[in-house]
Structure 1
Amino acid sequence: MNIVLGTGPLGISVMKELIRRGEPVTMVNSSGKGGPRLEGAQVIQADLMDEGQTRQIMKGANVIYQCASPAYHKWDQLFIRMQDLIINGAAASGAKLIVAENLYMYGPVDSVMKENHPFAASTKKGRVRGEMSERLLKAHEEGKVQVAIGRGSDFFGPGVMNSSVGERFFMPLLKGKPSSVFGDPDKKHTYTFIEDFGRALVTLGSHDEALGEVWHVPNAPTVTTRQFAELAGRTLGATCSIQPMSRMMLRIGGLFIPAARESIEMLYQFEKDFIVDSSKFSSKFGMTATPLEESIAKTVAWYRTKV
């Protein structure tokens, strides 16, 4: 049995890939409610901050995909505790634990990021991510639980709203207005297509040789954010303009929106080149990323249904 923790865009992408492979899926969220995007999977309710509930929903699982997270502004209060309970639950069930991570633990970078890049986070959320990753690998090394980690960059795609290239990026473009972007739009930035991320996690879950290691999930060749917007414009048949958001703008927005306030410390990722090497994954498993032209076209098509 496959259990997917979290019913956000990444959890849904994992679900769709498992269903495509003909495998049963149980989704876990805090409400137990499904909806059209979760059709084809069983949905159950659990509070992942409760040890008893976390252990209960994992009983009988073969593979657990961890795609859940607390509210962005509560990471430092809740995320490590949540993961510890998930590790304990997976250990009790004997299931493999496939964990989705981002790249915050690397901190500011001056070179292309590979899986062995040192942790040098200077931000609150980066240090949380680093500690969580270290705990996961230690639990695997100690034989407590079988773990594989898939790391993706800022993601985009159908269903992705809260991202640097989410709703604030695509919706204005569809309305002929300037799109808001972080940092310097002429610096290169690796973006991860959500469907590739989900497919990569399922690939890790189906290969025992992936266990005990970190894998950067496949990404299309890196472009600048301006080039990313230009590709979106070609799909729309229009010229797209962008409007960089400064630290000051984010601070003002943060007075009213906690997520905007929490984004300020991560702005460094968009102020110089931020490039991810995912060749290890592609070489091992033969999976490559969806071309940007195709992935952006799929994303634009989804957003068109929301205008």
Structure 2
Amino acid sequence: MNGFNRFRARGHRVRAVSRGAATGPHDVQAATAGAATAGAAAVRADITRADGAVAACEGAAVVYQCAQPKYGRWTQEFPDLTRTVLAGAEAAGAKLVMADNLYVYGPVDGPLSEDLPHAAVNPKGRVRADVDELILGAHRSGRIRATLGRACDYYGPGGVNTVLGPNVFAAAPAGRTIRWIGELDQPHTVSYLPDIAAGLVTLGERADADGRAWHLPAAEPVTGRTFSALVGAEAGGEPRVAGLGRSAQRLPGGVRAGQGHSACRGCGGDARLVPVPVGGEREGRPGGAFSGLLTWCRPRRERPLGATDHASKPLHIPRPFVLSPPIGSNGQSRAR
């Protein structure tokens, strides 16, 4: 609901769409409780159906597509989901902003920028490239206006469906070993959810963002060892930390490989386009951002929305993304 709060703060009327009964940190009803007078609403719709997507998008000026199929069903369901969302946006005459990741680039040795080719050969990377082409093709043909905002592995309040959720933020307060995907001493950028939201909102507001993909700004890269130590300190301890290579990720019960596991750096084109705050930086350390997600992960703790408001500095300098190689990858970085 980070984007939801950003919209309201900027005075926009907001409709949060969920397919079914929402629970946990993404509870749409909780996020919009008491907000009707502030121009906010929560609706339930099945956007996998064209009529559901059209109904969900009716009257919208901008549609933010942050939904996705279950991870294991991407190749089967993502293209059709995208087509129904496009139909909804087109029927409403709305601009479409897609929350995207780094899968499309495939293996990369060095910094990533938006002008890299879509070289992924694995099925999930290829389907993400197909999805992006569906959206940008609709823009080029004049059906809709569209833009994409790409982010790295993320963290933040409610951000538990990520490799940093159960492996890092849930492990630290429970006293378990933090398991970092990849080399512990390789710099790696992580995206803070409120910053992703701010970037996507900006893309929706700016006509000069249309027709292409953008790398959303992120804080400076940090090593897995340093990041884990900062999380552990915020949780009140000194956690054990282990780096997991590709073979360990594939073991039964092992963690899933990250979505674009990377040391990301933001906004690789016009730095003036997305001057959003950098996540979690408070007096040089990301404690303010960490404490909010740790609150989500601790059991039996109250989980207030907006718990991670923090002072942060604006990002003005464009920087390319950089991928962190998993252990045993022979130094080659991979966006998965």
TM-score, with length taken from structure 2: 0.78
Q: For residues 113-124 of structure 1, what are the structure 2 equivalents within 5 Å?
A: 113-124=112-123
> What's the offset of the Cα at 1:243?
2.2
Amino acid paired to 2:161: N
Which secondary structure does the structure 2 equivalent of 1:148 belong to? Answer: strand
Show the counterpart of 1:101: 100
Q: Deviations over 1:197-250 (max 9, x none)?
A: 011111111111111121111100011111111221332343222123344443
Which secondary structure does the structure 1 equivalent of 2:111 belong to? Answer: coil
Specify which structure has the higher proportion of helix. Answer: 1
Amino acid paired to 2:136: L
Show the counterpart of 2:290: 296
Show the counterpart of 2:46: 47
Q: For residues 91-170 of structure 1, what are the structure 2 equivalents within 5 Å?
A: 91-170=90-169
Amino acid paired to 1:250: Q
Show the counterpart of 1:199: 198
Q: How many residues align?
A: 286
Q: Deviations over 1:82-117 (max 9, x none)?
A: 001111221121101111000000111112111111
Residues 158 and 298 of structure 1 are in contact (CA less than 8 Å); yes or no, is this contact kept in structure 2? yes
> What's the offset of the Cα at 1:281?
5.8
Amino acid paired to 2:230: L
For the pair 1:287 / 2:281, whether they are aligned, the reply is no
Residues 267 and 274 of structure 2 are in contact (CA less than 8 Å); yes or no, is this contact kept in structure 1? no
Amino acid paired to 2:16: M
Q: 1:277 to 1:206 in 2, by over 3 A?
A: closer
Residues 112 and 277 of structure 1 are in contact (CA less than 8 Å); yes or no, is this contact kept in structure 2? no
Find the aligned partners of 1:32 and 1:281 in 2 and give their Cα distance: 40
Show the counterpart of 1:36: 30
Which secondary structure does the structure 2 equivalent of 1:280 belong to? Answer: coil
For the pair 1:18 / 2:17, whether they are aligned, the reply is no
Q: Which runs of 5+ in 1 are unaligned?
A: 1-11
> What's the offset of the Cα at 1:24?
1.7
> What's the offset of the Cα at 1:31?
1.2
Show the counterpart of 1:171: 170
Find the aligned partners of 1:66 and 1:301 in 2 and give their Cα distance: 27
For the pair 1:81 / 2:70, whether they are aligned, the reply is no
Amino acid paired to 1:98: V
Find the aligned partners of 1:277 and 1:201 in 2 and give their Cα distance: 13
Which secondary structure does the structure 2 equivalent of 1:278 belong to? Answer: coil
Find the aligned partners of 2:188 and 2:300 in 1 and give their Cα distance: 26
Amino acid paired to 1:68: A
Seq. identity, %: 30
Show the counterpart of 1:186: 185
Q: Which runs of 5+ in 2 are unaligned?
A: 23-27, 302-336
For the pair 1:56 / 2:55, whether they are aligned, the reply is yes
Which secondary structure does the structure 2 equivalent of 1:99 belong to? Answer: strand
Q: 1:125 to 1:140 in 2, by over 3 A?
A: same
Which secondary structure does the structure 2 equivalent of 1:243 belong to? Answer: strand
Which piece of structure 1 moves more, 184-193 or 231-240?
A: 231-240
Amino acid paired to 1:57: A
Residues 218 and 281 of structure 1 are in contact (CA less than 8 Å); yes or no, is this contact kept in structure 2? no
Find the aligned partners of 1:214 and 1:151 in 2 and give their Cα distance: 7
Q: Deviations over 1:14-55 (max 9, x none)?
A: 111111222221111111654423433422222122111211
Which piece of structure 1 moves more, 99-108 or 31-40?
A: 31-40
Find the aligned partners of 2:44 and 2:21 in 1 and give their Cα distance: 4
Q: Deviations over 1:154-185 (max 9, x none)?
A: 11011111211112311221122211221222
TM-score, with length taken from structure 1: 0.85
Q: For residues 269-288 of structure 1, what are the structure 2 equivalents within 5 Å?
A: 270=261, 274-280=263-269, 282-288=271-277
Q: CA RMSD in A?
A: 2.2
Residues 217 and 265 of structure 2 are in contact (CA less than 8 Å); yes or no, is this contact kept in structure 1? no
Amino acid paired to 2:155: F
Find the aligned partners of 1:306 and 1:79 in 2 and give their Cα distance: 35
Find the aligned partners of 1:78 and 1:185 in 2 and give their Cα distance: 34
